[in-house]
Structure 1
Amino acid sequence: MSESVVTQYEEVNQDKYQLKFAGFWTRFWAYFIDLIVLSAIGGIFIKPLFRVMGIEISNPFFWIFSVYKLTALLLLLVYFAFMTKFFKQTVGKMIMGIKVIPKDQKELTWSTVLFREVIGRFISKMLWIPYLLVIFMPKKEALHDLFADTLVVHEDVYERKTLPNVSMPVDHPIKDA
């Protein structure tokens, strides 16, 4: 008796798990919480310091910018840049359970963080519409995420991504009579 081998193909389901991307509302509420944190820091530390130093809080010296507003802007940029670099998330993102990761899954570099948090946010704030990209993009990216090659994902929350079925060869021995 001899044995021959017949190759048949079976459909194999390929499931892949990926971190769940943070949507518009989650990111919105995280940003709102961050603004509350920054407002509290400004009200508790910066305003009293300016009053003690005798610096006007609401007297603009250049167009609509006052020294206080420029200081608050600097605080905002430093807060977002340092928190994102060292923790991959701000206080608002921590509360909402989301974080910033680079697309290549390596560490966030200073150049990436500064580009995302300073230049990218400046462009997004000037236009406001780029924030709405989160609603329409498949990976829920805003314009500053696209510029910096970053993603905002839920911490430790994965979703199944089902890939198309693949035909895999399977060898079946057949005994000849």
Structure 2
Amino acid sequence: MTNPPPGWGNQSFATSSAPFGDTMGNGQNPIWVYAGFWWRVWAFVIDAIILSMVETALGFFIAPDITVQWQELPGDSTGQTMDVVDIASIAGSAMPRPETISVLLPHIHTGNWHNASVILALVPALYCILFEASALSATPGKILCRLKVVTLAGARISLARAALRFVVKAFLSFPLLYIGVLMVAFTRRKQGLHDLVAKTLVIRQDVSRITPFQPQP
């Protein structure tokens, strides 16, 4: 193949300006290995587990108090609640009917969930945006799977680009039947809809056969 696609030895992408690119130990041009669909699924699962544990622990501190109040409602021996006429007749009689029983109905009262819901919704956003825009260029799940999120030139992504990537992922890629996510399996550079919009790539490093490229100062 005389003109390989970007990321597989193409000189236009294999430049020293790409700090996250990889170069072969034998001095050949840098090679980027795009993260495949299943690698990204495993990274997502790991991140989801971590986020669920964080949100569960956080919920103990910010969740509103829940109280239960019990209301006594008269009923008959058949288990049917009584209407107003029956209740009035029992109350006016000197001797209550022996078949009369009481039914306790619970009423659950919670505090204001608004602030807690906003905070819990911000946790995954901050988690993804701050980690991917940091020097790590990856969430903990991606780090464990040796993945990094970079720009099309291989540079570290900005906070704005990371935020755009998350918003598109959360409100388009996931809700629309996961079509935006499934695109990873069919696009040339393994990009989802959020990657295409934010102009990012997810690359994978195989440390067993490549050496991280060190840019010149």
TM-score by length of 2: 0.57
Report which of the two structures shows the higher radius of gyration computed on alpha carbons: 2
Shift of 1:118: 2.3
- Report the equivalent of 2:156: 107
Instruction: Return the alpha-carbon distance in structure 2 between the equivalents of residues 79 and 66 of structure 1.
Output: 20
| Contact 1:120-1:147 at 8 Å conserved across structures | no
Letter paired with 1:89:
A
- Report the equivalent of 2:125: 77
Q: Equivalent pairs: percent with the same residue?
A: 29
Shift of 1:121: 3.1
Instruction: Return the alpha-carbon distance in structure 2 between the equivalents of residues 33 and 41 of structure 1.
Output: 13
1:102–1:124 Cα change, 3 Å? same
- Between the two structures, name the one with larger relative contact order (CA 8 Å, sep ≥ 6): 1
Shift of 1:155: 2.4
Shift of 1:48: 1.0
Instruction: Return the alpha-carbon distance in structure 1 between the equivalents of residues 133 and 165 of structure 2.
Output: 11
Aligned residues: 142
More strand by share: 1
2:146 to 86, 97, 101: 97
1:91–1:18 Cα change, 3 Å? same
- Report the equivalent of 1:54: 65
Q: What residue ranges of structure 1 are gaps of 5+ in the alignment?
A: 1-11, 160-177
- Report the equivalent of 1:146: 196
1:31–1:50 Cα change, 3 Å? same
Letter paired with 1:79:
Y
- Could you say what the CA RMSD is over the residues aligned between the two structures, in angstroms? 3.1
Instruction: Return the alpha-carbon distance in structure 1 between the equivalents of residues 111 and 180 of structure 2.
Output: 29
Q: What residue ranges of structure 2 are gaps of 5+ in the alignment?
A: 10-29, 68-109, 211-217
